[in-house]
Structure 1
Amino acid sequence: MIELRDLTKRFGATLAVDGLTFAVRPGEVTGFLGPNGAGKSTTMRVVLGLDLPTSGAALVNGHPYNTFRRPLCEVGALLDANAVHGGRTAYNHLRCLARSNGIGTRRVVAVLEQVGLAGVADKRVGGFSLGMKQRLGIAAALLGDPAVLLFDEPVNGLDPEGIRWIRELMRSLAAEGRTVLISSHLMSEMALTADLVIVIGRGRLLAETPVDELVRQFRRDVLVRSPRSAELSDALASAGASVRAEPADGLAVTGIEPGRIAELALDLRIPVHELTPRNASLEEAYLQLTDDSLEYRTTGGVR
């Protein structure tokens, strides 16, 4: 488990992380979301001992990262796919990491095959595309077969096949009982991959909730279809709802619950062919939740 206890990190006068407390548990894919400058990368660096907390604690299985004798066997991480020696081959890059943690070369071969790089194991990393470097970074994270995994924007540079592979890999790792934390700006991908999300803004916790619960908090409207839509629209408006006509006898209704819509239609003996609550997408919910936390905000379109 990854556990943050009132974690605060300052860089001079800049407060990057402000009293964060949350836990990332095994068996689930947890999305770590927030606008640029929210403190996501700093938080992950503190978890991995690359930055020291100003106060509070960041623990992995109850211990600070820098206390592990063989850290790759406890925690696997990919923070920057370009942080590799371009003159080394993929195999030698992983072999150096493996030797530093007492991991055998058979494991190096195995993870290269797992991420689809076995055919280029003897190629120098400097000639790799960003997508290939992402795969190599994931291989490094998996090298010690750790129970805890952290990934910062792991799908950058990947083609659609690679993105689907990452998604399936993350879910399979969680299904094995591992703890998986993914930082990403791709809301559509997080909606398909994550079981729950942790959302931060300006270094503070905004939400820690399952994905489906978050989107339910930001319901858009209820879609109602009826062959007598005009009559139903008048009745709903009289009951205090806001109603907007949609194609094919549809009504977009807000301000009233679906059950009450059904009761009104039944009382008036108006047939209803569809009654569908429409929640916001994860992207829409995220944008509403973080609107007050944006550090960089656009004000108009590009001309």
Structure 2
Amino acid sequence: MIEVRGLTKRYGEKIAVNGLTFGIEPGKVTGFLGPNGAGKTTTMRCILGLDYPNEGTVTIDGKAYQDAAYPMREVGALLEAKAVHGGRSAYNHLLCLAQTNSLPKRRVGEVLELVGLTEVAKKRSKGFSLGMSQRLGIAATMLGDPKVLMFDEPVNGLDPEGIVWIRNLMKALAAEGRTVFVSSHLMSEMENTADHLIVIGRGKLIADCTMQEFVAGASGASVRVRTPSTDQLVRVVSAKGATASIDDDGAIEVRGMTTEEIGDLAFGEGIRLHELTTIRASLEEAFMELTADSVEYHADAPGHQATTTIGSGV
């Protein structure tokens, strides 16, 4: 388990993380979201002891990362896939990591097979594509068979097959009872992967909840209704305080009422329904709405004069 308590990190006058508190529990995939400059990378670096907080504490299974006797056996982390000596082969890169962490040599072959790099194990990593480098980074993350895993943009550079693979891998690792913490800007992929979300903006916590709770908290939820009595249904739901609009295909979009409320109302009024479907906001829509006040960079649409709020990308 990862516990962050009152974490504050400053770089000069810039406050990258401001009193952040949250916990990452095992057995689920926890997504870490936030606009550019929100403090996600700084937070992950503080968790791994790469940066030291000005205030607050960060512990992994009750102790600081730097106090771990064999770090790779306890925590696996992928922060920068290209952070590899280009002159080394994939095999030698992993072998060096294994030897410096007292890990058995056989683990090198096992993780290479896990990530699909066995056939290129002897090739120098400087010739690897971004997707191959990403797989090598994931192999290094898994080398110590750790209970806690952290991934920063794990699908970056992967093809569709690779994206499905890493998605299923993270889910499988969580199902084994491991702690899986993943940061990504790809909302569609996070929506398919994460069970729980930590959302921050300008270094502060915005949300700590399940995926379903986060999406439900957005105002984008509506109900799609099809009926031969369109005008009548619009009148009765409007009388109850809901808003209703008619789409181009004749369906009614109702906001402010649930499917159950609409169904009961229609039954009481003798209105026959052909469709009654809840349309929830996507994760992307919920994210854009709930983090709107935390975005540091704003650009107008093409053809308009751009306006930018300058801020740090920490």
CA displacement at 1:247 relative to structure 2: 4.6
The 5 Å alignment of 1:58-207 reads 58-207=58-207
After superposition, the C-alpha distances for 1:233-276 in whole angstroms (9 at most, x for unaligned) are 12222332211112554100113333332232122211112222
After superposition, the C-alpha distances for 1:56-93 in whole angstroms (9 at most, x for unaligned) are 01110010000011100010000000111001110111
Q: Which deviates more, 135-144 or 220-229?
A: 220-229
Quote the residue 2:42 is aligned against.
42
Residues 228 and 172 of structure 1: CA distance in aligned 2, closer, same or farther (over 3 Å): same
Quote the residue 2:9 is aligned against.
9
CA distance in 2, matches of 1:257, 1:190: 26
The 5 Å alignment of 1:223-242 reads 223-242=224-243
Is 1:216–2:219 an aligned residue pair? no
Quote the residue 2:244 is aligned against.
243
Secondary structure, counterpart of 2:116 in structure 1: coil
On the 8 A contact 1:225/1:248 being kept in 2, the answer is no
CA distance in 2, matches of 1:153, 1:130: 12
CA distance in 1, matches of 2:177, 2:260: 39
Structure 1 runs of 4+ with >6 Å offset: none
Quote the residue 1:263 is aligned against.
264
After superposition, the C-alpha distances for 1:148-197 in whole angstroms (9 at most, x for unaligned) are 00000011110000101000110011111110000000000001111111
Paired residues in the alignment total 303
CA distance in 2, matches of 1:259, 1:166: 38
After superposition, the C-alpha distances for 1:204-259 in whole angstroms (9 at most, x for unaligned) are 01001111111112242111111111221122223322111125541001133333
CA distance in 2, matches of 1:263, 1:243: 17
Structure 2: gaps of 5 or more residues: 305-314
Q: Between the two proteins, what is the percent identity of the paired residues?
A: 57
Secondary structure, counterpart of 1:158 in structure 2: coil
Instruction: Report the residue type matching 1:83 in the other structure.
Output: A
Structure 1: gaps of 5 or more residues: none
TM-score by length of 1: 0.97
CA distance in 1, matches of 2:48, 2:16: 16
Secondary structure, counterpart of 2:76 in structure 1: strand
RMSD: 1.3
Instruction: Report the residue type matching 1:133 in the other structure.
Output: S
Residues 276 and 193 of structure 1: CA distance in aligned 2, closer, same or farther (over 3 Å): same
Quote the residue 2:307 is aligned against.
none
On the 8 A contact 1:258/1:275 being kept in 2, the answer is yes
CA distance in 2, matches of 1:97, 1:118: 17
Is 1:279–2:280 an aligned residue pair? yes
On the 8 A contact 1:227/1:249 being kept in 2, the answer is no
Q: Which deviates more, 20-29 or 249-258?
A: 249-258
CA distance in 2, matches of 1:112, 1:67: 28
CA distance in 2, matches of 1:260, 1:116: 51
Secondary structure, counterpart of 1:19 in structure 2: strand
CA distance in 2, matches of 1:241, 1:168: 41
